[in-house]
Every structure is written in C-alpha cells, then in structure tokens.
Structure 1
C-alpha cells in the first residue's frame, strides 16, 4: 500500500517566561516581522517562511532545555545580520559540520536554543 503524504511542515512551540518580552526580542533581535496572534499566554510569530509559537510558562527549566532547528538559505548573510545583535551562542559560531551542514545557533533571552543550518553542497 502506498503511503499518502499528509505531513506538510513542522512548527516549533517554545516556552516563554514573558510572552510580550519574547515577541519583542524576536522582532528587534531576530527580524521577525509578522505576529499572527498575541496575548499574555500565547503568541504566533513569523519571519519569512519560519513560524514559531510560544506558550507562557513560569519555570525557566522549560526554555533552557528546549531547542529547534531551522533550515535556511544564505546562512552567511543571516549569520552576519544576527551577529550584530550579539545573540550568537558562545559555542554556536558558524561552522561546517561533519554531517553536511553549515550552521550556527543563538539563545533567546529565556534560554531557548535556535539552530540555523544550510546544507553544504560539494
């Protein structure tokens, strides 16, 4: 039996200690320019084709143990853009990985780790 293709995309749902501060961080530091929903307990924001949801939590253990991975193009340009906002993780500088990706990572103000990667082409 042939399997149908039902899965369209994944959207991370990350923890936030303060929804409005989180949205401000993603807008001012990471260039997110679309807000689909925002209240004190939940937010949906986007930049380009990347959508992320945030839920309100009261324990920093949740964001500090959460991450997501974002496929990008023109990673060197994005890296320079985000480097100017001093959000690059100290151990997440831009580099080529042995598994065929060029990637870097950032930490948001709550501790969520966001990894950005672009496939290396031979």
Structure 2
C-alpha cells in the first residue's frame, strides 16, 4: 500500500489507572461499560463501538492530567444517565460550546476526565 493512501480508522484512548480491577469495576458499575480484557497491569472496557484502555501506574498525578473526548449520539440522554450515577464532574455540566458542540465531563475514580460530546443541531 502506498503510504500516502493509508487511512486512519479509529483512535482508542489509553488512560492511567491506579488499580486496574477498581477502574474496570468503576466503568462497569457507574458508566455501563463492559470489561473486555483484564491483566495485572492493563485493562480494556467497551461500550458500543468505543473502547477505553487503561495502563497501571503508581503515580496518582498522571490521571489528574489526562483526558479524552468521546463523540456520542444522544448526549442529553447520556448526560441524564451519567448524572444519575454521580460521575459528572462538578465543573462539567452539559453545556453548548461556541464551536458547536454540546458536551459534559465525567471524572473517574482515578482522576481521568472524559468529555462526551455531540455536534449541535443548530
């Protein structure tokens, strides 16, 4: 294949975890992801076509400086679901951004921030 014709097909965030088992449990119980792989120092969760990978660290500062964004369809419904489970970041309520995205932020137990967003219909 000609290198100029290569196509990028998807990105998968790889976030830091202070305890792989606890992280997988948090995503399963609080955010309705499914744990699809677990190793002593690595874990993977999935929800629909989205995966998030986790690597083990003992440095609690790393997840505090880590984030990713996931595009969704039905951000209002997802926001209600995440609000009910108590994972929405205190400073991350659902808002309309000036660049045409409705988004909110979730903070996991390790300190990773995940923004969920949907293009505005306006």
Q: Which structure 2 residues correspond to residues 1-122 of structure 1 after superposition, within 5 A?
A: 3-33=4-34, 35-122=35-122
Following superposition, the deviation at residue 2 of structure 1 comes to 9.7
**SS in structure 2 at match of 1:9:** coil
- Counterpart CA distance in 1 for 2:116 and 2:66 is 15
Aligned residues: 121
Shift of 1:6: 1.9
Q: After TM superposition, which residue ranges in structure 1, 4 or more long, deviate above 2 angstroms?
A: none
The change in CA–CA distance for 1:39 and 1:2 in structure 2 (over 3 A counts) is closer
TM-score normalised according to structure 1 size: 0.94
Displacement after TM superposition at 1:36 (Å): 2.6
Indicate the SS of the match to 1:91: coil
Partner secondary structure for residue 111 of structure 2:
coil
**TM-score (norm: length of structure 2):** 0.94
CA RMSD of aligned residues (A): 1.5
